Structure formats: structure tokens, C-alpha cells
């Protein structure tokens, strides 16, 4: 066999082995560390109720809806929307609903009155 051909064959074999080793290492890393960048959907690991608030929590400047769900069935347990207090109250206020998510217990919806210095409309304080 020609020396040039023999050297080329050895180089190709080394490249093939290196490529296989890198592919194996990449696969092993994916198996061991699948959530490195937290882009995967998290599946609830318990049957505790879960809660979501469309305005991101306590946000009196934006009307929102808090929704409590059963993670096993997806069924809605409770839905509550932010709402303005009585129009004759001074100062006006918004009943701001938000989620409370304790550790190892059911989430729940809570309400608090927040004063609106410029009035309240459709579940949000006026800017």
C-alpha cells in the first residue's frame, strides 16, 4: 500500500473514532442533564391545586383573572376576576385577586383591597 494512502486511512479512522466519541458524550450529557436551560415543560409532581393570575399577581393597574385548577384533570376549580369597590366609596379601591402557592399544599386565591387615588374602572386603578 502507498504511504500516502496508509496515512490518509489512519487519519480517517482517527477522525471517525473522535466523531463517535463526541456523539456519545453529547448523548450522555443530554440524558444526564436534560434541563440545563429550563426550556422543557415541567410536569406537576403532585396533585396540589395550581393557580395562575393573568395580570401576573398583585397588579392594581391592570385587571386580571386568577384561575385555580386541578393538575390531574385540568378542571377549573375557581375563577375570580379583579373588581372595583363601590363607586361611592372614598377613596375608590380595587379588589385585587392573586394566587398564593404554598409549598406542599393546595394553591388558593386571595383578595386584598388596594386604594386607587384616581378612581377605579373595570377591575383596575386608573392611571
| Residue boundaries of the structural domains of the chain | 1-42, 50-125
Whether the pTM exceeds 0.85: the reply is: no
Q: What is the pLDDT of residues 29-62, one digit of tens each?
A: 444 444 444 444 444 445 789 999 999 999 999 9
CB under 8 Å, gap of 24 or more: what pairs does 106-109 form?
A: 106/48, 106/49, 107/48, 107/49, 107/50, 107/51, 107/68, 108/49, 108/51, 108/68, 109/51, 109/66, 109/68, 109/78, 109/80
Q: By C-alpha distance, which of 104, 122, 107 is closest to 51?
A: 107
Q: What is the pLDDT of residues 74-126, one digit of tens each?
A: 899 999 999 998 777 777 999 999 999 888 888 999 999 999 999 999 999 99
Amino acid at each position: 500500500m502507498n504511504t500516502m494512502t496508509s496515512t490518509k486511512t489512519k487519519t480517517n479512522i482517527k477522525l471517525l473514532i473522535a466523531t463517535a466519541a463526541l456523539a456519545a458524550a453529547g448523548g450522555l450529557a443530554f440524558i444526564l442533564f436534560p434541563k440545563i436551560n429550563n426550556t422543557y415543560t415541567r410536569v406537576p409532581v403532585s396533585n396540589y391545586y395550581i393557580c395562575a393570575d393573568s395580570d401576573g399577581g398583585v397588579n392594581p393597574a391592570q385587571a386580571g383573572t386568577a384561575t385555580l385548577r386541578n393538575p390531574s384533570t385540568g378542571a377549573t376549580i375557581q375563577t375570580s376576576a379583579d373588581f372595583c369597590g363601590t363607586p361611592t366609596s372614598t377613596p375608590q379601591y380595587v379588589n385585587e385577586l392573586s394566587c398564593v402557592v404554598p409549598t406542599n399544599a393546595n394553591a388558593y386565591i386571595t383578595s386584598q383591597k388596594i386604594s386607587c387615588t384616581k378612581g377605579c374602572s373595570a377591575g383596575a386603578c386608573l392611571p
